[in-house]
Every structure is written in C-alpha cells, then in structure tokens.
Chain A
Amino acid sequence: MAMLGYAGQILKIDLSTGKIEKEALTPELARKFIGGIALGAKLLNDTVKPNTDALSPGNVLIASSTPLSGTALIGSNKTDWTSKSPLSGLAQTATSGDFGANLKWAGYDSMVITGKAARPVYITIFDDEVQIHDAGHLWGKDVYETSDELWDKYGDTCTVFCIGPAGEKLATISMAYTNKISTAGRKGSGAVPGSKNLKAIVVRGTKGLRVAHTKELLAKADEIYERYLQDPLLKRWMDLGTTISVEQYSREGKVLWKNWRESYPADRQSSRFSVQQFMEIRDVSIPCLLCPLGCKVLYNVREGEFTGLETLQSCNMGAFLSYGAKFDLSSYNQIAKCHDTANRLGLDTVEVTCVLDFLIDLQEQGVIDEKVTDGIKLERDIDTLLTWMPKIANREGFGNVIADGYTGVFTALDQEVAKYAVQRRGGSLDIDTRGIFGVEAFGIAVGVTGPHATFALGPTMIGGRDIAWLRRYCLRMGMSEGELDSVFSDPSGFNVARLTRYVERWNALLACMGICNRAPLARLYSLPLITELYSLCTGLDLEPTELLSAADRCVVLLKLFNIRQGATRKDDYIPERNFTEPLYILGEESRMRDYYETRRLTREDIKAFIDDYYQERGWDKEGVPTRKTLTELGLTDYIEP
C-alpha cells in the first residue's frame, strides 16, 4: 500500500538496457531523506560512481517531487532535478517546474534515469505504464517544436520535459526545459539527457494523491492562503514578477556589464526597460502548478521590432540582466527575441551571455582578435547574440569552443586568458562579491553546486540589515540558541561564513519541500509550520530538528559527491580578479568589503571565512565532512574506510 503523502515508489529507467523498474520508497528512506533535493542527493551518491564523466552513461538524471507537492498548498510544487554537471563537474541541482507533481500523481516520488539509449528516444510515463519510444523524428527539433509535437500527440494535460539542439550537441552550457518555460537547472542540464540520447519525457499522472489528514491540511492551506492575500505588494508582484526589482537594482548599481567591470547605467534602464515598457509586452501569467502568484509570463510583442513574437519567460529580471544590460539592447522586444532564440535552442542564458561578454572584453583589451572568433568582431548588441547563439548550440566554428563555456575557451586559447574571467569551476557567478558581501556573496565561494546563490539566498541581499532583523530571520529558519551564539558572537556583528551554513540548511529544507523562493511565498513558511504540514501530509511525525538534519544531510551528501568526483578545498574560492580589481558601481570604485563596509576583505580573510564555514559544518580543514559529522547525521554508510 502506498504511503500517504508520498507516491511510494521510485521509478528507475536504464536506457542502455531498456529496463524499467519500480522500487518502493520505504518509510525509513522517506523519514531520513524527506524527498525532493535530499532524496535526489542520496540517489545521486548511490548511483554515480566516483570520477564519472558527466556525459557518460554512468551519470544520472533525477527528478524528485516533494512531500508537500501535488496537494493544495500554494507555492510548494517545485521539482528537484539532480545530476552531475558536465560544466562544473560538481553536483547540479535545480528546484523548478511542474514535472514532479505530475510524476507524483502518476505514482512516483522520484525518477532515476541512467545509461544511454542506442538511438534517440523519448519516454512516456502515464501512471503505471512507462514506455521508451523512438525519437528519430524529434531529434534536431527545438524545444518549442518538440514540446508542441508531443502535446499534439499526448494532450495538454501532460508535462513535457525536453532538450533542444544545444543539449543534443552536448553543449555544457545547455539547459533542459519543462513545458517550454521552467529549466531543469543550468550548466549543462540539457547535455546530460543529450548524452543519453534522451530527447524528451512526457508525464501525466491521473492516480492523484491522498494525504494522512486531509481536513486539517486543507484548513492549514486556507490559513496560508489568507495570510498570502494580506501581502501589500501582491498586486505589484502579480503584475511584475521578478521585474519588481529591476529599477531598484539598476539604481543601486547591482546590474553589471562589461565583463564584471562596472554597473550598467541606470538611465539606460529607465529609458529602455521601465515597468511601463515591460507591461507593453507582458501578456498572461504562466504560473507553476498551484501557484497564485504567477511570476512567470507570456511575452507578446504587439508592436515594433519582432511584432507577433510570443514566447514564455520564467524570469524577466534574469533576461534583463543577461541580455538587456550586458548586450546593451534597446528594448524588451529585443530581449524577447534573444530569450526566444536561446530557449528554443536550449541554451543556458546566463552562461552564454557571460562567456560572450568575457570574449568581447578579451577583444576590447586586445588579448584576442577577430580571427579567433571566425573573423567576426563581437559587439554588445543583438546581432552578436543572434549570430552566435545558433553557432554555439550547433557547435559551428568557434561556437564549438563557446559551447563548453569558460572551460572550453580556456582550453582552446591560452590558459592565461582565465585571469580575465570571473568564474568558479567553469560556471559564472550569480552575484559579484565586490558589491554587498553577505551570505549570497560568500556562498559563491563554497556553494556545493558551484558559484550560485542556490542555497545561500536570503537575508543579506540588501545591505546594512541590522542585527535584530537578522536574528529574527534566523529564528524563522529554526536556528537554536547555540547556533545563534556561534553566528552573532562575532565582534563585527555576525560571522557571514557561519551564517551561510544555516541559510544553506534552510534553503535546502525549502527545496526538499518544493517551496518556491519568491518572497511572497517563501516568507509564508516557517520551521514549525513546515513540520506540521509534513506530518499532516505524510502522517510521519518528525521533530523540527529532524527535518533540519535531513536538510543538512542533503548538503553533506552533495559535498561528498563532489569530493568523490575529485573536488578539493582548492575548488572553494572567490575569483582572483575580485581581489585585485575594483568594480565601478555607479562610477564609484568598489572593493571587496565586509557586509557592514567597515574594512577591505583580503585573501586571508576569505581563507579564514572558509575555515569558519567548514568548522560550522563539522567538516575538516580540507572541507571533508568528518566521521563525527557523518555519524551524527546517520550517514555512517558514507564514511570512507
């Protein structure tokens, strides 16, 4: 009998043999690894052998639903995708899209795909019926064409996951998509299915889901929704989604261009990318499943350049940062065109634009000339994007080099050019550490999934928060007195490295529950509430501390995975340029400084922070989880002999 709140099964598909197996998700496994990203981290560790090539059949593609997803709770229906990234060589995770809920309604908490099919295939999962089909007719088609064709065949109630040409060509700066809009993570999430000859997965679940305490869960869901409706910024959030921060970010100089050298001029943003201009191309909301906020939108170009273009956008802010600012575009119409092109090809927007920006910088600095880039001078304009994106996705000319991101460029050119790049393990940064140095910036150095704010996102995006505010935030994250002491006994007010450890734990827990990190949704959930909801859904009574331990287990397992794939302390760093060169924010020179901007941060400071972070996590000086830590977390199976 299926467990309540869970579907109760893990679906395993080996594409090399065509073998399809269904394993029970035991209550023990559920209690220990909860679901979502923690279950993904466990399955990743148990499936992928040490030092596996991410583009070999030995890598895995995992999608996991969460214990809260597929119920009536708002903003908690995300899917966790897990694999080894071919770009960074580290664990790759993403919390995104509807796939998981549909998978759960079909009867599976997780899906684990290994091996490599002999020919291009796609998979259909319709409840108990799981089949592998020939995808010869889909291979070569873009993300939109593929999704449309599969929707034509199987109906719109399916969730469609697929890759575009970039994934097929194993570009390590590719992405996979669900329902044309949500990405299954960055950094080569398209190349992993591509390397398995897997073009698409179609899922439809009609079994539904029963929870342990339906009436009580609904009462809670109503209460959460009522609280959500009280948010004074709701109307604005619903209209603008992430565009809500575009103006403020520009005004504060947080929007960067010119290869991380300076902030993008605020007056350009206000004249080209105002809220009003956004509203002109904004059509309906395209929410994730059961989300009342709907921050994602349909772009609809109604007049001017590219009139008639309709395309789905999951993060308008991201599109502005990547295309609008970095490439000095003139309008949202141009952003829509570039976004549509990248989405269809299945390219990683952030990596593509950062690497092209870096190459433009190399040309501007006179380090390389046009001959390197197929005789084409790279410019900050739409033509460069529209010329190069197809070349990259199809690996044509120098596009073949860019398809492997920074690492590809370093290998093809002199390794010396690396000093001009701002990256960690081949991935571009989410945030510049020379701006506000909070947990989000420090997370760049130590993040288990690379230089991303994935787990370290939260309290210190805005500068100058006072200690009382930060303490309240920490209490909501369920930090104990001892943990608070450890973070706040620092003479500077708080220790950013130690705080990072707890923010990561909190975000890992949210990801285990599929809770969206957009502020109006994430702020509705606290540790006691999550604990209660988990118990109402599953009937399993866990203490809040047990849930936090599961979240810690998740980060530790991802770290162990990285170590087994060859990562060491040397891979935890802040790019050298951030120490040696200033960033010009609104024309003012800015160096890396502590959060309250009282002092410069040196390499020694960062080294000390990394030590603090490891210590707070119970890892040794090399960043390896100690025997004691693994024992405390019940991960003795993972202790190296």
Chain B
Amino acid sequence: MTVAKTKEKRAGKEFPILVYPEKCTGCRTCQVRCSVRYLGEFNPFKSYIIVARDHGKRTTSLDFTDDCIWCGYCARFCAYGALVLKKSAKSGKGSK
C-alpha cells in the first residue's frame, strides 16, 4: 500500500487499539488475521503488525507498520488482552 493511500484510509480516525506488549504471548493470531484480510493469504511476515520476541519467553515489542490502516480487526482475535479495542475497553469488554 502506498503511504498516500494509508494516510487516506486513516483520515479522520484515531488509532483504535490499546496495546499491552507485556501481555502478548507471541501467538501470532493478530498477524495471520491481518495478512489474510488485506493480502488474502495467511502470512505473519506480510502483516501490518510486528511481534518481537525474546528467545521463546516474552514479547519485547508490538509495533504497527506504516501500512496499518487502523482498522482494529486484529485486536478482535487477541485472546490475551495484549490488543484491546478502545471501544470494547470503554464498554468494559475485552479487559482481561
């Protein structure tokens, strides 16, 4: 996706996700969901979220690439409370 296009898609939105890297288990569900939604393939390496791990133990960072269009889709599938949709946090859901 071009930078201009990403910007266009983000316009008028705020980033919809609360991010808690310390809760991330590295399960990669968010990555696979993002890649299949936007690229039509199951491929964590092409997703717009990057999960960095510490030799099998903990997640050291959770970052969104410049291509991320702030849709929040990935957060719906994070079972560990590392990605929480702001709107469900407000409504009291998803706060594990």
Contact = CB atoms under 8 A, between A and B. Distances in A.
Contact of B42 (A72, A180, A293): A72
Contact of A284 (B42, B45, B58): B58
A292 B42 contact: no
A289 interface: yes
Given A72-B33, A147-B55, A181-B56, A287 B42 contact: no
13 contacts: A72-B77, A156-B55, A156-B56, A157-B44, A157-B45, A208-B39, A208-B45, A210-B41, A210-B42, A218-B36, A284-B25, A290-B28, A292-B29
B33 A312 contact: no
A291 B27 contact: yes
A259 to B, nearest CB: 35
Interface of A: 70-72, 74, 105, 147-148, 151, 156-157, 179-181, 206-211, 214, 218, 225, 238, 284-294, 298, 310, 312
A285 B79 CA distance: 11
Nearest to A210: B41
B65 to A, nearest CB: 15
The 9 closest A-B pairs by CB, nearest first: A208-B43, A292-B79, A208-B41, A206-B45, A156-B53, A209-B42, A287-B27, A285-B25, A180-B56
B32 to A, nearest CB: 5
Nearest to B45: A206
B54 interface: yes
Contact of B55 (A70, A148, A208, A238): A148
Given A72-B36, A147-B56, A287 B25 contact: yes
A227 to B, nearest CB: 14
A294 B80 contact: yes
B40 interface: yes
Contact of B35 (A208, A291, A310, A312): A208
Interface of B: 23, 25-29, 32-33, 35-36, 39-46, 52-58, 77, 79-80
A311 B66 CA distance: 35
A369 B46 CA distance: 62
Contacts of A157: 44-45, 53
Most chain A beta-carbon contacts within 10 A, residue among B26, B45, B53, B56: B56
Contacts of A284: 23, 25, 57-58
Nearest to B29: A290
Q: Which of B32, B40, B41 has the most CB of A within 10 A?
A: B32
A211 B58 contact: no
B33 to A, nearest CB: 6
Nearest to A98: B28
Given A72-B32, A284-B25, A290-B29, 11 more contacts: A147-B56, A156-B53, A156-B56, A180-B56, A206-B46, A207-B43, A238-B79, A286-B57, A288-B27, A294-B80, A312-B57
A72 B36 CA distance: 9
Contacts of A206: 43, 45-46
Contacts of A180: 55-56
B55 A209 contact: no
Contacts of A287: 25-27
Nearest to B60: A156
B82 to A, nearest CB: 10
A207 B42 CA distance: 9
Contacts of A74: 29
A513 to B, nearest CB: 16
